[in-house]
């Protein structure tokens, strides 16, 4: 079902005023720093907060008039919050049970969802016997087992260690893409989560949406300095290969494959502007020859303490003002961009983006 939202909310001196739409079967990422209003927004959607004025239409139901338990939502937060006194299977069966299914039926539903998230073998354990990643896996199953029309993901990877996060991200990619009816809102401060999971991005700051659009566009070519600072990334699309990525033009970008990247699948090489080194064109080759891209400077933008260099290759680099002066860079200057392979990560591309 499609979600249409208009919210005005006041908490102390903080004001949130935002509107957006999430078509059925798609994922919207709300990207913003701490204090931008992300959690107030999510609270309004889940019903734990009551906005001053709100229209939250899910299909033709106005959620704002409903109690949380009547909204048909699923919530996954950074803490799995599995009920410690219930076994894993009863945790997952909690939602069907609360919605009227019998004990046996709920458990059957739960086992199906546990299998779906590759956690069937944990069914009879207590949450205390699970690792963080396993618990979050179960929490995903629990949030989905009630067949919610709206799924809310609140920084679902933020509390996981670096080994567990890619697996959960991959799991979420799979379950999100397999349902064409459900609308999903993902709240995150990590542009990589948005990149991996979301079709669209809405950038929130101080309670206002300052930028929105398809994920890749917003992240690769931020139209506001603010978005560029929190989310500006260099993205190169292509196909995953064993040592990185191959673009459509056949250029190879060396990088590290993320855990959930499958070879031969569409992928994106991602790296921060700060990991791009800039040399004058024609200089010698001090580094690895593969990740060297010739370009010319199109713009120089101050970003706080650094200057962001934009190039006609679509890539950005962050430099100190002193370096810009030393290299005598100005729009039109020919440069050589050098990207260290270990700073490049190759992620699976969001399927619909």
- Site residues (CB under 8 A) for other proteins? 46-48, 67-75, 77, 79, 81, 83-86, 94-95, 98-99, 128, 142-143, 146, 152
> Which of 148, 168, 157, 205 lies closest to 30, judged by CA?
205
Give kind and range of the element (H or E) at residue 106: helix 103-116
**Which phi and psi (to 5°) does residue 65 adopt?**
-90, 0
For residues 41 and 18, the answer to whether their CB atoms sit within 8 Å is yes
In sequence order, the 6+-apart residues with CB closer than 8 A to the CB of 54 are 5, 6, 7, 8, 9, 44, 64
- How far from chain centre, in Å, is Cα 108? 31
Q: Return d(Cα 73, Cα 149) in angstroms, integer.
A: 6
Measured from the CB atom, the residue of 71 and 308 that comes closer to other proteins is 71
Measured from the CB atom, the residue of 144 and 218 that comes closer to other proteins is 144
> Which of 212, 168, 210, 226 lies closest to 193, judged by CA?
168
Measured from the CB atom, the residue of 103 and 285 that comes closer to other proteins is 103
Measured from the CB atom, the residue of 36 and 77 that comes closer to other proteins is 77
Q: Return d(Cα 260, Cα 163) in angstroms, integer.
A: 11
Assign 8 to helix, strand or coil.
Answer: strand
CB of 315 to other proteins, least distance (A): 42
CB of 131 to other proteins, least distance (A): 18
Measured from the CB atom, the residue of 90 and 318 that comes closer to other proteins is 90
CB of 10 to other proteins, least distance (A): 17
CB of 147 to other proteins, least distance (A): 10
Q: Return d(Cα 79, Cα 176) in angstroms, integer.
A: 20
- According to DSSP, the residues that pair with 300 across neighbouring strands are 309
Measured from the CB atom, the residue of 37 and 127 that comes closer to other proteins is 127
CB of 107 to other proteins, least distance (A): 15
Measured from the CB atom, the residue of 68 and 321 that comes closer to other proteins is 68
CB of 75 to other proteins, least distance (A): 4
> Which of 274, 272, 333 lies closest to 299, judged by CA?
333
CB of 74 to other proteins, least distance (A): 7
Measured from the CB atom, the residue of 96 and 232 that comes closer to other proteins is 96
CB of 53 to other proteins, least distance (A): 21
C-alpha dist (Å) from residue 87 to 129, 134, 172: 10, 13, 23
**Could you give the dihedral angle defined by the CA atoms of residues 258, 264, 268 and 272, in that order, rounded to the nearest 10 degrees?**
50
CB of 91 to other proteins, least distance (A): 9
Measured from the CB atom, the residue of 34 and 67 that comes closer to other proteins is 67
Helix axes 132-145, 103-116, angle to 10 degrees: 120
- Locus of tokens 């070519």: 221
């Amino acid at each position: 079902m499609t979600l249409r939202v208009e919210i005005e909310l006041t908490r102390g001196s903080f004001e949130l005023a935002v509107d957006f739409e999430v078509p059925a079967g798609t994922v919207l990422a709300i990207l913003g720093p701490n204090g931008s209003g992300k959690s107030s927004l999510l609270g309004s959607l889940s019903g734990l907060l009551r906005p001053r004025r709100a229209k939250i239409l899910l299909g033709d139901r106005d959620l704002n008039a409903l109690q949380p338990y009547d909204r048909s939502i699923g919530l996954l937060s950074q803490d799995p919050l599995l009920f410690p006194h219930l076994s894993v299977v009863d945790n997952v069966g909690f939602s069907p049970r609360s919605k009227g299914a019998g004990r046996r039926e709920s458990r059957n539903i739960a086992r199906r969802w546990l299998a779906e998230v590759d956690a069937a073998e944990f069914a009879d354990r207590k949450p205390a016997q699970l690792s963080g990643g396993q618990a979050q896996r179960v929490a995903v199953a629990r949030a989905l087992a009630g067949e919610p029309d709206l799924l809310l993901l609140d920084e679902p990877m933020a509390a996981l260690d670096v080994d567990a996060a890619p697996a959960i991200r991959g799991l979420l990619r799979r379950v999100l893409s397999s349902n064409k009816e459900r609308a999903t809102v993902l709240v995150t401060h990590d542009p990589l989560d948005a990149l991996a999971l979301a079709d669209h991005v809405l950038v929130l700051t101080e309670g206002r949406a300052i930028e929105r659009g398809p994920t890749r566009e917003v992240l690769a070519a931020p139209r506001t300095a603010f978005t560029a600072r929190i989310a500006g990334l260099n993205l190169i699309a292509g196909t995953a290969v064993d040592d990185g990525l191959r673009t459509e033009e056949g250029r190879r970008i060396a990088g590290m494959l993320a855990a959930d990247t499958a070879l031969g699948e569409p992928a994106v090489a991602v790296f921060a502007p700060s990991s791009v080194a800039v040399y004058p064109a024609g200089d010698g080759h001090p580094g690895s020859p593969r990740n060297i891209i010739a370009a010319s400077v199109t713009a120089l933008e101050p970003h706080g303490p650094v200057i962001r260099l934009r190039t006609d290759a679509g890539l950005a680099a962050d430099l100190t003002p002193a370096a810009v002066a030393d290299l005598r860079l100005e729009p039109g200057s020919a440069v050589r961009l050098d990207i260290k392979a270990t700073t490049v990560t190759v992620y699976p591309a969001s399927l619909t983006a």
